[in-house]
Amino acid sequence: MLSCFRVGLVVLLCLIGFSCAVPVKFADCGSTSGKVSTVDISPCVTQPCQLQKGQSYSVNVTFSSAVASKTSKAVVHGIIAGVPIPFPIPIEDGCQSGIQCPIQKEQSYNYLNNLPVKSEYPSMKLVVEWELKDDNKEDFFCIKFPVQIVN
């Protein structure tokens, strides 16, 4: 009952435009140079996240690094019917996405970026795969989460 009330409250706060971030259920797809603790997409009140065309969503991935690295580069794919399709994001450089570089070993970082959903995208369900690569192209993180593109 209480938790139901809490969920209702969060949804209400989100609907009236408060900044709200509900952790998204994600799958790890091979983070070797780090470990992910939370993934927040905002606004996203249902799972899978409903992404409206023409909107932009903020992404916040909290991870800890297992290695040091001077650079970090994000690579995003949309997996449609099992096929990964490159998904361009405006800023690929992780060092310009909330991360202070050089990345140090055994530190916690918040990777912050935007997921723009263009109006010409078709309405469908897909899986977003988001990787952040280190100097050696190993993944600080590789996460996958389902989304639904809606009108």
Ligand X SMILES: *[C@@H]1O[C@H](CO)[C@@H](O)[C@H](O)[C@H]1NC(C)=O
Among 14, 95, 112, 117, binds ligand X (CB under 6 A): 112
Contact 34, 99 (CB under 8 A): no
Of 29 and 112, nearer to ligand X (C-beta) is 112
DSSP secondary structure, the chain, as one string: -HHHHHHHHHHHHHHTT----EEPP-EES---SEEEEEEEEES--SSSEEEETT-EEEEEEEEEESS-BS--EEEEEEEETTEEEE---S--BGGGTTPPSSBPTT-EEEEEEEEE--TTSPSEEEEEEEEEE-TTS-EEEEEEEEEEEE-
User: What character string, x for contact with ligand X (CB under 6 A) and - otherwise, covers 13-32?
Assistant: --------------------
Question: Out of 8, 27, 30, 38, which residue is the one contacting ligand X (CB under 6 A)?
Answer: 38
Closest distance between ligand X and the C-beta of residue 38, in Å? 5
Judged by CB under 6 A, the residue of 14, 40, 77, 121 near ligand X is 40
Considering the complex, state which of residue 67 and residue 112 has its C-beta at the smaller distance from ligand X. 112
By CB under 6 A, is residue 64 in contact with ligand X? no
Q: Which amino acid is at 13?
A: L
If one asks whether residue 62 binds ligand X (CB under 6 A), the answer comes out as yes
Q: Is residue 60 part of the contact set for ligand X (CB under 6 A)?
A: yes
Q: Which residues bind ligand X (CB under 6 A)?
A: 38, 40, 60, 62, 110, 112
